[in-house]
Amino acid sequence: DQQVKQNSPSLSVQEGRISILNCDYTNSMFDYFLWYKKYPAEGPTFLISISSIKDKNEDGRFTVFLNKSAKHLSLHIVPSQPGDSAVYFCAASEGQGAQKLVFGQGTRLTINP
Amino acid sequence: DAGVTQSPTHLIKTRGQQVTLRCSPISGHKSVSWYQQVLGQGPQFIFQYYEKEERGRGNFPDRFSARQFPNYSSELNVNALLLGDSALYLCASSPEATGIYYGYTFGSGTRLTVV
């Protein structure tokens, strides 16, 4: 049972434009969401997070939006840069004392010059 | 300052064998978690240890076990290896029992191939 889903395996965006990565979840008990970026031969790197009490969180070029009613979140990258090319994972946790993250399958983002 | 270090980086084992993977967390981090990432999928939670005690266990068979040492380093053991155990094994550390607010810091992983 895939509780966190990233339905787009890949996404190609032109440099300077906006990249939008999407994530859906089914578990209504999830209350904290994170985005990770992963380069080949490296571990995932934390990007940005959002609590379920918010609907938006910004950090520089990265903004995460949360729509609880739709159980949907998205990561916006503006403007996209070649160094943003990587696999992006959406992850969710349940409860403040959560020990584990539940990850989606990942979306491979390619930024074209 | 060193990040999360894992050893070995690559490993090839035969079906039925046993394997031990090692992880050293960031200095000062007391929590270590283990994840399995099969090709084409996201990481899947295996274990979390905090202060040498198991705090969480994912949906993995008893062939998988782990422990945490007084210096907070950790080992993941897998017995009776199956072909399906071939994956990237990731270790993540955090300062406290839950890393969701800090964003767990992951190591580069150990690539295990079972033949």
pLDDT digits (tens, 9 = 90+) for A80-96: 999 999 999 999 998 66
**Contact: A43, B109; criterion CB under 8 Å:** yes
Amino acid symbol at A2? Q
pLDDT at B8 over 90: yes
Q: What is the DSSP letter of B80?
A: S
Reported as a single tens digit per residue, the pLDDT across B15-42 is: 999 999 999 999 989 999 999 999 989 9
Reported as a single tens digit per residue, the pLDDT across A3-21 is: 999 999 999 999 999 999 9
Buried/exposed code over A54-75 (b: 16+ C-beta within 10 A; e: otherwise): eeeeeeeebbbbbeeeebebbb
How many angstroms away from the CA of A14 is the closest CA of chain B? 24
What local confidence, expressed as pLDDT, does residue B100 receive? 64
Lowest mean pLDDT among A4-8, A12-16, B49-53, B106-110: B49-53
**Contact: B45, A100; criterion CB under 8 Å:** yes
Query: Rounded to an integer, what distance in angstroms lies between the CA atom of residue A86 and that of residue A35?
Result: 12
What local confidence, expressed as pLDDT, does residue A41 receive? 85
Mean pLDDT within B83-109: 86
Considering only CB atoms, which chain B residues are within 8 Å of A41? 108
Distance from the first to the final alpha carbon of chain A: 38
Query: Rounded to an integer, what distance in angstroms lies between the CA atom of residue B53 and that of residue B18?
Result: 23
CA atoms within 13 A on the CB side of B23: 34
Considering only CB atoms, which chain B residues are within 8 Å of A43? 4, 90, 92, 106-109
Considering only CB atoms, which chain B residues are within 8 Å of A44? 43, 90, 106
A39: nearest CA in chain B? B108
Kindly indicate the confidence band of residue A99, based on its pLDDT and cuts at 50, 70 and 90.
confident
What local confidence, expressed as pLDDT, does residue A64 receive? 98
What local confidence, expressed as pLDDT, does residue B98 receive? 66
How many angstroms away from the CA of A4 is the closest CA of chain B? 10
CA dihedral B77, B80, B85, B88 (to 10 degrees): 30
Residue in B40, B42, B105 nearest the CB of A103: B42
